[in-house]
Amino acid sequence: MKKSLLAQSVALACLAAAAGGAQAVSFTQNDVTLDINGTINGFYVNRESKTTVAGGPETKTQNSALTNGLLPGWINFVVTTKAADQDIKAHFSFAPGINDSSSVVGLPSTVGTGAGAVPGASSPYSQIDVRNVYFQFGNNDWGTLKFGRDIGLFGQNIILSDMTLLGVGGTSNAGIPFNTTFGMIGHGYMYTGFQAQITYTTPNFDGLQASAGIFQPSSFAGDQTKTPGFQAKVDYDWKGMAPGKVWGGLITQSTSCSKGSTCDGTGTNPDKSFTASGYEIGAKASMNNFGAVAYAFTGKGLGLSTVGAQFFGGSDGLGNKTDSKGYFLQGTYQYNKTKFGINFGQNKDNDGILGAGNERKNKAYTLGVYHSLNKFVTLVGELNQEKITSTVDDSETKNRTLSAGAILFF
């Protein structure tokens, strides 16, 4: 039985899944097929933030925004063919957003690098993210090889299982300039990202399938990346009265200091190497109209999980690695064309870039309602409550985000 148009579109937009996904337009010339599909969304967001530092007075801000959700706009071009018993696929995608950061309608107000030296943070123009640029070939006998840029392996399954993928979730102020909010990223899991890679995926053995690949390395410590990053995951899917999936994954990346560098800070600064690593385990299942997801991860040098981006803040620069861990739980209920859901997650970081003995913790929950108006349009409403605590500055921040809008898949 074919998946619904919504499910196929989400899978193709986020995972570049099977070439038989939904398409708005399809062209076939000789033995080559071009499929085009995409998604657009828009949300009204009201965000209230309260912060106290070291027992001082509370500061409070409240803002409204019209923004993208966790998904940006997205247009996909997927080419498929078959030659010499090999299934061949190529995928290009472009992901624009609906926002710019100018406070003047129709005119730029700032240009260049914005606050925090983030490129594009004060760009007056909407950004375009090229997320998928890859090709792959293979068959059901020996598997598939992929070359190019696509979604990562570590953290892939959990973001595709997060109900806020269709909505906003938390960290809604990230919509500008990055075209997306964070959903529950940073509150139960880390963002997998879209990364340059060469990946091998095995054939599917009665629901059991594995993928492993080398990835563009990141300099989380030191100034050399002699070897690529490595990621792998194993999935087992089953059908029946309670269909579901269990999975496990890992990620590792090594960096080093060049001779004479000061990243160890002692002696004659000899060569020194560092290794970041992360491990994950997850499960999801459904029965009748109920669905559930459970997930956990741990990382060392992997990055500030409370920010959510891999290798951002994984070390203090001298090789003292940030320790991270998190967990995520979700339950949903489908009633006719409407899905009701709640999820909760927490990420915690210690030491490393925070300083020895320091801790930062994010926890949040989301209540969501997702109504399928028709096979193309889903109406979405969410409430997200977030709490951030840090011993670095003895601060506590509470954010409340209300969002309402719609998402279109075609």
- The mean pLDDT value for 307-325 works out to 84
Q: Are 210 and 231 in contact (CB under 8 A)?
A: no
| pLDDT averaged over every residue in the chain | 86
pLDDT digits (tens, 9 = 90+) for 170-217: 875 655 556 788 899 999 999 999 999 999 999 999 999 999 999 999
Q: Are 409 and 41 in contact (CB under 8 A)?
A: no
Distance separating alpha carbons of residues 389 and 259, to the nearest angstrom: 39
Percent of the chain having pLDDT more than 70?
82
pLDDT digits (tens, 9 = 90+) for 280-291: 999 999 999 999
Distance separating alpha carbons of residues 158 and 293, to the nearest angstrom: 9
> SS3 for 226?
coil
CA gyration radius, the chain: 22
Q: Are 36 and 76 in contact (CB under 8 A)?
A: yes
Give the closest residue to 219 by CA, choosing from 276, 300, 284, 136. Answer: 276
Which one-letter DSSP state was computed for residue 4? P
> SS3 for 8?
helix
Ranges 7-11, 99-103, 308-312: which has the least confidence: 7-11
pLDDT number for residue 3:
40
Confidence band of 259 (pLDDT split at 50, 70, 90): low
Distance separating alpha carbons of residues 341 and 163, to the nearest angstrom: 7
Strands (E), 159-311: 194-201, 208-215, 229-238, 244-257, 272-287, 290-300
Confidence band of 360 (pLDDT split at 50, 70, 90): very high
pLDDT number for residue 352:
84
pLDDT number for residue 237:
97
Q: Are 222 and 249 in contact (CB under 8 A)?
A: no
pLDDT number for residue 353:
86
Q: Are 380 and 368 in contact (CB under 8 A)?
A: yes
- pLDDT at position 77 over 90: yes
Q: Are 173 and 166 in contact (CB under 8 A)?
A: no
Distance separating alpha carbons of residues 394 and 76, to the nearest angstrom: 45
Distance separating alpha carbons of residues 277 and 301, to the nearest angstrom: 7
pLDDT number for residue 277:
94
Confidence band of 97 (pLDDT split at 50, 70, 90): confident
Q: Mark 315-327 as b/e (b = at least 16 C-beta within 10 Å).
A: bbebbbbbbbbbb
